[in-house]
Amino acid sequence: MKKEFDAQTSEISEHGALARILLVDGHNSHYTVEGLDWARDHNIHVLAYPPHCTHALQGLDVVLFSVFKRRYSTAFKAYELDTGEKVTKDAFLSVIEKPWCETFTEENIFASFRATGVW
């Protein structure tokens, strides 16, 4: 939390002047008392999804991953048709680059949170 979340959100929250929300899946391995104290001190509200509900509430699961899976499947098939070979480790990143960039846009990410009622 300290390393990634704060680094990615500190500036847009005016370095803690504006509250931030961190959504976690509720498993206790994702947070500690020390971490929660640190979050409180930095105006970060940690909210946990209810148990066994993340598949229905997380925007990535509900919207983006299914779209990405469909797009990369199409890209893999196109690669195999074009080259006559299966996608190798060396080709993997170049094959998924376009599906990734088309799927994980700011607009789609916001839409995924709207679809689950989080945004």
Measured distance CA(3)–CA(29) in Å, rounded: 16
Q: Tokens in use for 16?
A: 């803690």
Largest CA distance in the chain: 57
What's the pLDDT score for residue 103? 96
Rg (CA), the chain: 18
Q: What is the pLDDT of residue 12?
A: 77
pLDDT of residue 58: 81
pLDDT at 1: 66
Per-residue pLDDT of the chain (119 residues; tens, 9 = 90+): 677 888 888 887 777 678 888 888 777 776 788 888 988 988 899 988 888 887 788 878 888 998 999 999 999 999 999 999 999 999 999 999 999 999 999 999 889 888 888 77
For residues 21 and 49, what is the distance between their CA atoms, to the nearest angstrom?
Answer: 12
Domain ranges of the chain: 5-48, 55-115
User: What is d(CA 119, CA 112) in angstroms, rounded to the nearest whole number?
Assistant: 9
Q: What is the pLDDT of residue 17?
A: 78
